[in-house]
């Protein structure tokens, strides 16, 4: 899904554009005096040397490209690449990742499974003994089990979707490799959508005709020059821009810094006043959790009643405003969605809402929204209403105006470069009889309820009977909502196989665990800049495979061999031959775009990276400008070709939880629901500043955020005082679904009534014989609920739950989240 964020449009655009030359530094060192080298060196003056020194071995991660310093086979330090405008502390953890005490050292099998076969004592998962086996034995067990299930039950019995953030690298992409193996050996059950934007990507395709969330944004130089007001709506860019799906170019962080320097007015709408917002001197508006839809309706009503809306824009570029106006005025339900009405729901004063509406209308305004607001029940509504408000403002397609849903992610708005694009190893073709994918966040529901049918975006999906779960590159025990429900659901499959470098929570709950290398133990490549596609980074092997770990590629190749599909799996290529073919393909594209590159061997030996040029015209690209210029020639991908404020397609689905017009629908749990009497606090599960989800939780960066050696809970001063909680206290956070131990961080930077526990702490159950046992490390999904956002998108609601907290006075609980289990 995220592999290629460039929309067809922007990608086509930049391939057509301009013609200058490429990049690569220390060229005289790199290239022999061939014709290519001469051509390249002529272009030299355009480019600064990319690296200050050849100190280390060039590699990269989701959090940045860097040189690894290696001494006697051990990684001992790192140095960021010179091109990175905002290197962060996550890269410094690479040595700790490689040499972590909780690496998985050899293949292991759960004792009951090994002795009594698949499905034996599934209740012991997570606490059974482990038995070490040889690689040969492990490969045989896995292959035999795949063969058994394929022949007895067919491909729908194997859930190998394996959603997750794995590591960077286009060849050692464990998820693609898993899918490749499965497609070659009979097919498998996969998933649709993702955890990140499950609700927004579905509703946006109906409203603006593309997922929008992964599309290129109006570029940064244009925003910096033209935006007079930037509204960060549930958007925390200084945290979330640290990481990217590919290697980050961190251009977005430069962009925000430029806004701050220029003094552009910035408003943040968020229950939390994030440190990044302070760095931007942003004004803080703090709504109650989960009430953004009501707040946006109040703003829309103000625009309408004060005649600040752009009738001409709405007429020409949208459909359904007439119906929306009726609903704003309360013509059907008798409730006008005034600022006063909104205020009673969202807790922001009516006058503040009105002033915000006026300011947005009078200034060139860019609304930058994050995605936490749609990881909620009825999460389709906020983004739909943001587009509606932006349409009323009439600035969509103008310089520095409109909305952008990816400025906080992977540097959306980083201008597109011109060159070539690496495509990774492919998952191959799915066999014809492949089962219908299940919406990703319905995983636990699917495992527990074979045969159940759910609605999904106008279709129906029936869950098959899953017998095997295969995970490579994800951490579902941490990422899926309602951990205790998932634990229960995971009793159903007979076999769970996990590839992991470390003893993560998910690995601990498997039947067969295969130790794999980290990306620093193998050779690979990746693009730098998800949106700019500006760099090609080599990922050189820094250290040998640790312990008995092997590359996912080699593990799957050996399984493929036993299943009789080795040749189709490898296509006769080993690691370096694959990298060369990927590079050559990219090089041909670059040459066609007028950017010559050195041959693969020279590139590889240079221990250097490629920086493609960014054509001038790409620096001022404006999203929706072509649509605005001529909506008939450049229609949107919606049925009407326009922005659909009312969607007939959605209306026709007849879903009570997502009808044809956007609105405020009280969520499953919030401060206004009955459950709030027992559980008055609203949960916020923001993404962690010092991790990527659960990745790096087992490194010393933990010292920066852990409180009393647990995940922190950010709690308002008043809420803490009422419960006699002080900063540093060990706290139990709980509701009917589960309980976690967390460390208190008392602050006025969070709205009273809201508490934050970042997602991603490794699940560490105190006593697995109890269904709702305490998590000793503070994994927030023990508290969340597992229902779909609506029948439309079936997305996860991870950013929502009511709970209570109390000072923990129970017996001492040793945190064992990062320990190695018995027998392993
Ligand atoms: N409550 C709540 N829950 C959430 C969210 C939220 O906001 N709130 N956010 C959701 C979102 S947006 C997302 S994207 C998900 C993220 O969920 P995940 O993507 O599952 O999270 P990661 O921690 O990145 O898990 C990646 C795993 O892959 C492993 N890995 C890394 N490299 C390799 C490799 O080369 N080979 C193999 N075999 N394994 C490797 C890592 O060790 C790690 O365990 O969480 C979701 N869950
Ligand atoms: N450092 C770091 N960077 C990351 C990641 C990571 O784990 N760590 N994960 C990456 C991934 S996979 C993704 S999907 C993106 C996630 O990007 P986002 O989904 O945008 O990130 P979140 O932190 O979940 O939420 C962003 C903001 O929304 C606010 N918010 C939550 N609930 C509400 C609400 O009801 N109303 C309002 N107005 N605001 C609310 C939160 O307080 C937070 O400040 O980040 C990516 N970048
Ligand atoms: Mo995500």
**Predicted confidence (pLDDT) at residue 189 exceeds the cutoff of 80:** yes
**Predicted confidence (pLDDT) at residue 469 exceeds the cutoff of 80:** yes
Residue nearest atom 3 of ligand 2, based on CA coordinates = 240
pLDDT the model gives residue 731: 98
pLDDT the model gives residue 516: 98
Please name which of 679, 783, 778 lies closest in space to residue 730, comparing C-alpha atoms.
Answer: 778
Cα(382)–Cα(371) distance, integer angstroms: 10
Distance 227 CA to ligand 2 centre (A): 23
Sign of CA dihedral 349, 354, 355, 359: positive
What percentage of the chain has pLDDT greater than the value 70?
93
pLDDT the model gives residue 55: 77
Which of 93, 102, 107, 166 is the pocket-test mutation for ligand 1 (most atoms within 8 Å of CB)? 166
Q: Predicted confidence band at 300 (pLDDT cuts at 50, 70, 90)?
A: very high
Name, in order, each residue with C-beta under 8 angstroms of 122's C-beta and a sequence gap of 6 or more. 490, 491, 492, 493, 494
Residue nearest atom 29 of ligand 1, based on CA coordinates = 473
Name, in order, each residue with C-beta under 8 angstroms of 170's C-beta and a sequence gap of 6 or more. 422, 423, 424, 425, 524, 525, 526, 527, 582
Tokens of 807: 């000072």
Task: For residue 700, give the 3-state DSSP assignment.
Answer: helix
Please name which of 686, 689, 720, 717 lies closest in space to residue 704, comparing C-alpha atoms.
Answer: 689
Distance 688 CA to ligand 2 centre (A): 8
pLDDT the model gives residue 4: 42
Q: Predicted confidence band at 207 (pLDDT cuts at 50, 70, 90)?
A: very high
pLDDT mean over 420-448: 96
User: What confidence tens digit (pLDDT) does each residue in 484-524 have?
Assistant: 999 999 999 999 999 999 999 999 999 999 999 999 999 99
66 φ/ψ angles, rounded to the nearest 5 degrees: -160, 165
Query: In terms of pLDDT, which residue wins out, 38 or 581?
Result: 581
pLDDT the model gives residue 54: 63
Q: Which residues pair with 498 in a beta bridge?
A: 471, 513
Name, in order, each residue with C-beta under 8 angstroms of 550's C-beta and a sequence gap of 6 or more. 135, 514, 515, 516, 517
Please, what are the domains in the chain? 47-99 (no CATH), 108-193+433-528+541-572 (3.40.50.740), 202-414+621-653 (3.40.228.10), 674-807 (2.40.40.20)
What element of type H or E holds 500? strand 495-500
Cα(742)–Cα(738) distance, integer angstroms: 13
Phi-psi group of 763: left, alpha or beta (phi > 0 → left; psi -120 to 50 → alpha; rest → beta): beta
Residues touching ligand 1 (Cβ under 6 Å) are: 164-167, 172, 174, 195-196, 375, 472-475, 479, 481, 499-502, 504, 516, 519, 552, 685, 687, 692-695, 759-760, 780-781, 784, 798-799
Task: For residue 683, give the 3-state DSSP assignment.
Answer: strand
pLDDT the model gives residue 9: 34
pLDDT mean over 379-394: 98
User: What confidence tens digit (pLDDT) does each residue in 809-823 have?
Assistant: 999 999 999 999 988
> Computed over its alpha carbons, how large is the radius of gyration of the chain?
26
Distance 541 CA to ligand 2 centre (A): 32
**Predicted confidence (pLDDT) at residue 32 exceeds the cutoff of 60:** no
Please name which of 729, 810, 809, 815 lies closest in space to residue 766, comparing C-alpha atoms.
Answer: 815
Cα(453)–Cα(439) distance, integer angstroms: 12
Query: In terms of pLDDT, which residue wins out, 282 or 15?
Result: 282
Q: Predicted confidence band at 533 (pLDDT cuts at 50, 70, 90)?
A: very high
pLDDT mean over 771-785: 98
Our CA angle for 82, 87, 90, nearest 5°, is 135
User: What confidence tens digit (pLDDT) does each residue in 306-330 have?
Assistant: 999 999 999 999 999 999 999 999 9
pLDDT the model gives residue 602: 87
User: What confidence tens digit (pLDDT) does each residue in 707-762 have?
Assistant: 999 999 999 999 999 999 999 999 999 999 999 999 999 999 999 999 999 999 99
Q: Which residues pair with 367 in a beta bridge?
A: 231, 403
Name, in order, each residue with C-beta under 8 angstroms of 141's C-beta and a sequence gap of 6 or more. 109, 114, 133, 512
Task: For residue 495, give the 3-state DSSP assignment.
Answer: strand
User: Which residue, chain included where needed, has tokens 């070709």?
Assistant: 641
Cα(95)–Cα(457) distance, integer angstroms: 45
Please name which of 358, 481, 504 lies closest in space to residue 737, comparing C-alpha atoms.
Answer: 481
Question: What rounded mean pLDDT belongs to the chain?
Answer: 93
Q: Which residues pair with 750 in a beta bridge?
A: 272
Buried-exposed string 310-324: b where 16+ CB fall within 10 A, e elsewhere: beebbeebbbbbebb
Closest ligand 2 atom number to CA of residue 759: 7
Which of 1, 211, 234 is the pocket-test mutation for ligand 2 (most atoms within 8 Å of CB)? 234
Please name which of 100, 106, 93 lies closest in space to residue 516, comparing C-alpha atoms.
Answer: 106
Residue 250 in marked binding region: no
User: What confidence tens digit (pLDDT) does each residue in 209-223 have?
Assistant: 999 999 999 999 999
Residue 408 in marked binding region: no
Least confident of 13-27, 166-180, 415-429, 707-721: 13-27
pLDDT the model gives residue 606: 84
Tokens of 725: 């909680």
Question: pTM score, two decimals?
Answer: 0.95
Distance 271 CA to ligand 2 centre (A): 12
Tokens of 175: 């998820």
Cα(133)–Cα(550) distance, integer angstroms: 14
Query: Are the beta carbons of 601 and 51 closer than 8 angstroms?
Result: no
404 φ/ψ angles, rounded to the nearest 5 degrees: -145, 125
List C-alpha distances in Å: 343 to 287, 291, 325: 9, 10, 19
User: What confidence tens digit (pLDDT) does each residue in 620-668 have?
Assistant: 999 999 999 999 999 999 999 999 999 999 999 999 999 999 999 999 9
Query: Are the beta carbons of 541 and 607 closer than 8 angstroms?
Result: no
């Amino acid at each position: 899904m995220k592999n290629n964020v460039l929309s067809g449009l922007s990608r086509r655009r930049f391939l057509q554009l301009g013609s200058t030359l490429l990049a690569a530094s220390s060229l005289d060192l790199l290239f022999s005096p061939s014709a290519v080298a001469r051509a390249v060196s002529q272009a030299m003056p355009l480019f600064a040397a990319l690296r200050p020194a050849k100190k280390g071995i060039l590699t990269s991660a989701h959090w940045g490209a860097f040189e690894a310093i290696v001494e006697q086979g051990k990684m001992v330090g790192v140095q960021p690449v010179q091109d990175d405008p905002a290197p962060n502390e996550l890269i410094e953890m690479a040595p700790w990742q490689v040499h972590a005490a909780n690496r998985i050292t050899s293949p292991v099998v759960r004792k009951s499974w090994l002795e009594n076969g698949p499905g034996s004592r599934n209740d012991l998962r997570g606490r059974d003994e482990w038995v070490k086996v040889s690689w040969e034995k492990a490969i045989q067990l896995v292959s035999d089990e795949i063969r058994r299930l394929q022949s007895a039950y067919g491909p729908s019995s194997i859930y190998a979707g394996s959603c997750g953030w794995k590591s960077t690298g286009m060849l050692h992409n464990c998820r693609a490799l898993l899918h490749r193996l499965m497609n070659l050996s009979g097919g498998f059950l996969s998933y649709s959508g993702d955890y990140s934007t499950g609700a927004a990507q579905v509703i946006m395709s109906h409203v603006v005709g593309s997922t929008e969330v992964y599309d290129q944004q109006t570029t940064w130089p244009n925003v910096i020059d033209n935006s007079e007001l930037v509204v960060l709506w549930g958007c925390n860019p200084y945290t979330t821009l640290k990481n990217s799906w590919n290697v980050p170019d961190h251009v977005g962080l430069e962009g925000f810094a430029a806004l701050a320097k220029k003094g552009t007015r910035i408003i943040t709408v968020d229950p939390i006043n994030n440190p990044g917002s302070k760095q931007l001197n942003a004004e803080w508006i703090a709504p109650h959790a989960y009430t953004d839809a009501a707040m946006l309706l109040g703003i829309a009503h103000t625009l309408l009643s004060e005649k600040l809306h752009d009738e001409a824009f709405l007429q020409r570029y949208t459909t359904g405003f007439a119906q929306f106006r009726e609903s704003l005025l309360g013509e059907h339900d008798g409730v006008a969605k005034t600022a006063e009405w909104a205020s009673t729901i969202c807790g922001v004063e009516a006058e503040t809402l009105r002033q915000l509406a006026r300011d947005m209308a009078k200034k060139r305004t860019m609304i930058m929204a994050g995605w936490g607001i749609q990881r909620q029940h009825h999460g389709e509504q906020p983004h739909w209403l943001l587009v509606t408000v932006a349409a009323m403002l009439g600035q969509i397609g103008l310089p520095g105006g409109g909305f952008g849903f990816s400025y906080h992610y992977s540097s959306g708005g980083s201008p597109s470069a011109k060159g070539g694009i690496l495509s990774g190893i492919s998952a191959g073709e799915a066999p014809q009889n492949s089962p219908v994918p299940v919406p990703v966040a319905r995983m636990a529901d699917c495992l527990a309820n074979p045969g159940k049918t759910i609605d999904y975006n106008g279709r129906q999906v029936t869950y098959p009977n899953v017998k095997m779960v295969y995970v490579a590159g994800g951490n579902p025990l941490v990422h899926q909502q309602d951990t205790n429900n998932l634990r229960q659901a995971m009793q159903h499959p007979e076999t769970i196989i996990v590839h992991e470098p470390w003893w993560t929570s998910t690995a601990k709950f498997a039947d067969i665990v295969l130790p794999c290398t980290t990306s620093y133990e193998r050779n690979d490549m990746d693009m730098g800049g998800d949106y700019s596609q500006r760099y090609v980074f080599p990922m050189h092997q820094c250290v040998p495979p640790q312990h008995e770990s092997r590359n996912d590629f080699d593990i799957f190749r050996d399984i493929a061999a036993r299943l009789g599909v080795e040749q189709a799996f490898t296509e006769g290529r080993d690691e370096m031959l694959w990298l060369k073919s990927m590079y050559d393909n990219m090089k041909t594209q670059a040459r066609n775009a007028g950017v010559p590159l050195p041959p693969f061997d020279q590139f590889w030996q240079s221990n250097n990276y490629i920086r493609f040029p960014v054509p001038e015209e790409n620096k001022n690209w404006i999203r929706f400008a072509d649509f605005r210029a001529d909506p008939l020639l450049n229609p949107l991908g919606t049925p009407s070709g326009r922005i659909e404020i009312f969607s007939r397609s959605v209306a026709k689905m007849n879903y009570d939880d997502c009808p044809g017009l956007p609105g405020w629908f009280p969520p499953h749990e919030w401060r206004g629901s009955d459950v709030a009497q027992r559980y008055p606090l609203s949960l916020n599960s923001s993404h962690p500043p010092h991790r990527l989800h659960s990745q790096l939780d087992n490194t010393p960066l933990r010292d920066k955020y852990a409180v009393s050696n647990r995940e922190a809970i950010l709690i308002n001063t008043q809420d803490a005082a009422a419960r006699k909680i002080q900063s540093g206290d060990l706290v139990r956070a709980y509701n009917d679904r589960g309980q976690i131990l967390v460390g208190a961080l008392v602050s006025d930077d969070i709205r009273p009534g809201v508490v934050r526990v970042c997602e991603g702490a490794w699940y560490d159950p105190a006593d697995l014989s109890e269904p709702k046992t305490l998590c000793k490390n503070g994994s927030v999904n023990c508290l969340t609920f597992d229902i779909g956002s609506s029948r439309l998108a079936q997305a996860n609601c991870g950013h929502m739950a009511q709970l209570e907290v109390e000072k923990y006075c129970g017996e001492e609980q040793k945190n064992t989240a990062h320990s190695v289990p018995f027998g392993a």
